[in-house]
Amino acid sequence: MTASVGCPTEPRVREGSPVEVFLTFLKLGLTAFGGPVAHVGYFREELVVRRRWVDDVAYTDLVALCQFLPGPASSQVGFSMGLIRAGYWGAVAAWTGFTLPSAAFMTAFAWGAGSLSGTAGTGLMHGLKLVAVAIVGQAVWGMARTLCPDPQRAAIGALVAALILWSGSSLSQIGAIAFGGVIGLWLCRGPGAQAAELLRVPVSRRAGGIALCAFFLLLVGLPLLRAAAPVPGVALVEAFYHAGALVFGGGHVVLPLLRDAVVSPGWVSNGAFLAGYGAAQALPGPLFTFAAYLGAVSSPAPHGLVGAAVALVAIFLPGILVVTGTLPFWDTLRSRRDAQAMMQGINAAVVGLLAAALYSPVWTGAVVTARDAGVAIAGFVLLTAWRTPPIVVVAAGAMTGIALSMVAS
């Protein structure tokens, strides 16, 4: 359905409860394997296609916004969807449900719970990687049909994918999205542009301004507090807040920052750091929950469960503050004609970003043999043609990975 530029569609009447949001995101937290790019696909299938909380254009605008902001992009998308659905408590419920499963495992792993090993464990992990290929492929396919329907936007998406694959830099993702916006401003100003559904965000502009001020005050103030008053726990909060505030896109980009924060000062050994990173790779949910493990094993007080909770909240807090502060101004900006054209270009760029990630690292990191390609393609067909629930595809992919590993051994 289309509308004239500058006349966004009226927001749907949405009624949701924090309990509904928590259960929805708990399911995603238990099944969303594959990293932040795959999470975008899981979220779209569950929240846009199946539950229809928002439309595809509004969802992709939100993904593009979170790619621009510092913090874990997929968790920011989930937090924002919970906020839109059920207010502040819905946002907390979304973050908690999506984060809790992997955070609990990482904390248990810090206490020596161990990790999957042997033939079955290796096969399980490999099967889940192949499922991620299918999930991301489904996201690219569905979003391309909606957001790249004409030659101009298809060209933007293809060019962005080529640029990202050629560069290989995480910073190129932000530049590519900005490039899509500039080209969209030039190419996508025609009449009849698709209007995005209004995002009814229950955050006032005043509250948004306070959240942005808090983000910058903590970014500047925590290092000063750490230097002036060496109170136990302040160093831990400052280190993880700093890491969460300075990473764009989330995921693996945060790892060098975390290593500098905890390994360089001797808080965590390099071997323990790498062991925790390996365990985090095998889990659903956000990779930022690696912070729970590091907080639990780090030498500065607090340790254990308290340290895990402190580190976990500290690394997610800056991303939550900055997206909360930006959302109240988002609809006004994207309802303007120039902004509509820019967002069409940005949305096409996001499709190109996902397409590039589908190849590297998702495909290249999972598909080794022709049998692997067959499993990934089968999962894609199940998701797109047969409309199979993602959790069923995840289970089938895991079992297939174990079976193939057993046969190979």
Question: Domain map of the chain by residue range?
Answer: 20-409
- In this prediction, residue 9 has a pLDDT band, given cuts at 50, 70 and 90, of very low
Mean pLDDT of all residues in 118-130: 82
Conformation bin of residue 70: beta by default, left when phi > 0, alpha when psi is -120 to 50: beta
Residue 173 · residue 249 · CB < 8 Å: yes
Token pair listed for 298? 């780090």
Among 96-105, 239-248, 273-282, the least confident range: 273-282
**Spatial distance between the Cα atoms of 349 and 178, rounded to a whole number of angstroms:** 8
Backbone φ and ψ for 33, nearest 5 degrees, come out as -85, 160
pLDDT of the residue at 195:
53
**In this structure, what is the dihedral angle of CA atoms 149, 139, 86, 210, given to the nearest 10 degrees?**
-80
One-letter identity of residue 144:
A
Q: Would the pLDDT of 239 be above 70? A: yes
Among 82-86, 120-124, 166-170, 189-193, the least confident range: 189-193
**Spatial distance between the Cα atoms of 70 and 245, rounded to a whole number of angstroms:** 6
pLDDT of the residue at 153:
94
Q: Cβ of 19: how many Cβ atoms within 10 Å?
A: 12
Task: List Cα–Cα distances, 261 to 106, 202, 315, in angstroms.
Answer: 18, 35, 12
Q: Would the pLDDT of 313 be above 90? A: yes
**Closest by CA position to 29, among listed 84, 87, 82:** 82
Q: Per residue in 196-216, pLDDT tens? A: 566 778 999 999 999 999 999
Percent of the chain at pLDDT > 70 equals 90
- In this prediction, residue 336 has a pLDDT band, given cuts at 50, 70 and 90, of confident
Q: pTM value?
A: 0.77
